[in-house]
């Protein structure tokens, strides 16, 4: 579970430091709204850091995945634009990172078919993240896509043979399935000497599960998020309304006090401080003082990002071109992998 993944992430950080060239990153987001603080500290910050260390990076806009928990993908263009703006504002460099949308990559999607043959219905059904998403779903009925999207995500990761996936905690079951699919494909169709796919690792950050203003996982589509592009005033209002608990004395204790601790952690990450120290400074001053600290820290930390976001929003032609160019690169990579898969499976037609 999470403890093992955290430990593995610490080991990976050391390996990345030693040899960034060994790694290839794939990670991404659903175009369902603006990115928020959970994305930023859960994965986006790591993506930018890895890119700067020279790790080859692919960034997927998972548009088919929008349809897992709703019947139609409304305002898709706007949501895709929002993601691109958030990426650029956060420091993703399109010269070094390939940004693409999976619906634009037919060969990637074709990998889903052999991959589905490698997993059982029971395995798909017991995925805890899928269960949670079904509980929050806006769909009229639970679709087959909801159960199969983790296998689709394996195709997203493996089409470019990524071995490192910076994600939040909710993605751990999906990563486990991706590893299973890679292993079974290699066992069935590869040779020990030449496995077709790597078994990718999840890379967790210091905030693998940031909570939203209602105390549940901060999510784009649950109305509990502080988005990166929000104004300073909106940020203040949202954080003022965040759920805390009756204990006036502020402490950092994620297991016992998840809501208060998530706020403390948020301030600590923005300030580059230890969360225990941040909590100790506030102590008996209470939740209102905590929220004031968080608001100021977030607004200060995000100010340059928000300026850059506004700057890129002036040139949406450029922003759109980035996606077109990225799609072209991803298509070439996907075709190469699909050819290899077909050769290994001996599907010749
Ligand atoms: P939606 O509600 O539409 O599913 P989301 O906020 O869950 O949106 P996703 O696009 O599903 O965002 O997730 C993108 C990435 O961000 C994943 O790696 C996920 O683990 C990570 N992430 C999302 N929310 C959080 C959070 N609250 N804390 C840490 N990481 C998060
Ligand atoms: Mg999600």
In a domain, 334, yes or no: yes
| Ligand closest to the CA atom of residue 204 | 1
Classify strands 201-203 and 164-166 as parallel, antiparallel or unpaired: parallel
Asked if 133 and 31 sit in the same domain, the reply is: yes
Check which CATH number belongs to the domain holding 91 and give it.
3.40.50.620
Per-residue pLDDT of the chain (349 residues), as tens digits, is 899 999 999 999 999 999 999 999 999 999 999 999 999 999 999 999 999 999 999 999 999 999 999 999 999 999 999 999 999 999 999 999 999 999 999 999 999 999 999 999 999 999 999 999 999 888 889 999 999 999 999 999 999 999 999 999 999 999 999 999 999 999 999 887 889 999 999 999 999 999 999 999 999 888 999 999 999 999 999 999 999 999 999 999 999 999 999 999 999 999 999 999 999 999 999 999 999 999 999 999 999 999 999 999 999 999 999 999 999 999 999 999 999 999 999 987 7
**Count of domains forming the chain:** 2
pLDDT of 17: 96
Asked if 42 and 126 sit in the same domain, the reply is: yes
| Ligand closest to the CA atom of residue 266 | 1
Asked if 161 and 175 sit in the same domain, the reply is: yes
Asked if 256 and 329 sit in the same domain, the reply is: no
In a domain, 223, yes or no: no
Asked if 299 and 323 sit in the same domain, the reply is: no
The boundaries of the domain holding residue 308 are: 229-312
pLDDT of 191: 80
Query: At which residue do the structure tokens 């929000």 appear?
Result: 230
CA 219 – ligand 2 centroid, Å: 6
Give the strands of the sheet with 201-203, arranged side by side: 97-101, 56-61, 24-29, 164-166, 201-203
Ligand 1, closest atom to CA 27?
18
Q: Provide residues with CB under 6 Å of ligand 1.
A: 29-30, 32, 38-39, 42-43, 167-168, 170-171, 207-210, 217-222
In a domain, 214, yes or no: no
Asked if 146 and 9 sit in the same domain, the reply is: yes
CA dihedral of 62, 63, 65, 66, whole degrees rounded to 10: 130
In a domain, 7, yes or no: yes
Query: At which residue do the structure tokens 């950092």 appear?
Result: 252
Angle 35-37-40 (CA atoms, 0-180°, nearest 5)?
A: 75
Ligand 1, closest atom to CA 166?
18
Asked if 280 and 330 sit in the same domain, the reply is: no
User: 283: part of which helix (H) or strand (E)?
Assistant: none
pLDDT of 343: 94
Asked if 131 and 262 sit in the same domain, the reply is: no
pLDDT of 312: 98
Asked if 265 and 326 sit in the same domain, the reply is: no
Check which CATH number belongs to the domain holding 279 and give it.
1.10.240.10
Query: At which residue do the structure tokens 């589509």 appear?
Result: 221
pLDDT of 1: 86
In a domain, 58, yes or no: yes
CA 29 – ligand 2 centroid, Å: 8
Asked if 66 and 143 sit in the same domain, the reply is: yes
CA distance 15 to 287: 40
pLDDT of 222: 87
Asked if 13 and 78 sit in the same domain, the reply is: yes
Query: At which residue do the structure tokens 């009756």 appear?
Result: 246
In a domain, 48, yes or no: yes
In a domain, 224, yes or no: no
Asked if 79 and 54 sit in the same domain, the reply is: yes
């Amino acid at each position: 579970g999470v403890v093992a993944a955290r430990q593995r992430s610490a080991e990976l950080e050391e390996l990345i430091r030693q040899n960034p060239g060994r790694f290839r990153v794939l990670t991404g987001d659903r175009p369902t709204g603006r990115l928020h603080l959970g994305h930023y500290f859960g994965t986006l910050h790591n993506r930018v850091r890895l890119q700067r260390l020279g790790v080859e990076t692919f960034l997927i806009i998972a548009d088919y995945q929008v349809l897992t928990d709703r019947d139609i993908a409304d305002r898709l263009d706007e949501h895709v634009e929002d993601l691109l703006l958030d990426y650029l504002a956060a420091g993703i460099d399109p010269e070094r990172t390939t940004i693409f949308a999976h619906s634009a990559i037919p060969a990637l999607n074709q990998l889903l078919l052999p991959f589905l043959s490698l997993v059982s219905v029971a395995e798909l059904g017991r995925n805890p993240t899928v269960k949670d998403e079904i509980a929050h779903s806006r769909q009229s009925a639970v679709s087959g896509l909801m159960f199969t999207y983790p296998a689709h995500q394996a195709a997203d990761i493996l089409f470019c043979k990524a071995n490192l996936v910076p994600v939040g905690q909710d993605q751990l079951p999906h990563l486990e399935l991706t590893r299973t699919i890679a292993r079974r494909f290699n066992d069935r169709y590869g040779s020990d000497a030449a496995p077709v796919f790597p078994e990718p690792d999840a890379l967790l950050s210091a905030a693998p599960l940031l909570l939203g203003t209602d105390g549940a996982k901060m999510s784009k589509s649950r109305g509990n998020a502080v988005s990166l592009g929000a104004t300073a005033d909106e940020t203040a209002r949202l954080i003022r309304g965040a759920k805390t608990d009756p204990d006036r004395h502020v402490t950092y204790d994620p297991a016992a006090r998840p809501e208060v601790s998530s706020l403390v952690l948020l301030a600590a990450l923005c300030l580059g401080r230890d969360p225990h120290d941040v909590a100790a400074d506030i102590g008996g001053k209470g939740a209102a003082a905590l929220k004031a600290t968080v608001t100021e820290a977030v607004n200060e930390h995000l100010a340059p990002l928000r300026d850059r976001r506004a700057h890129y929003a002036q040139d949406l032609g450029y922003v759109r071109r980035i996606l077109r160019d990225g799609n072209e690169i991803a298509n070439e990579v996907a075709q190469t992998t699909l050819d290899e898969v077909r050769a290994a499976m001996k599907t010749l037609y």
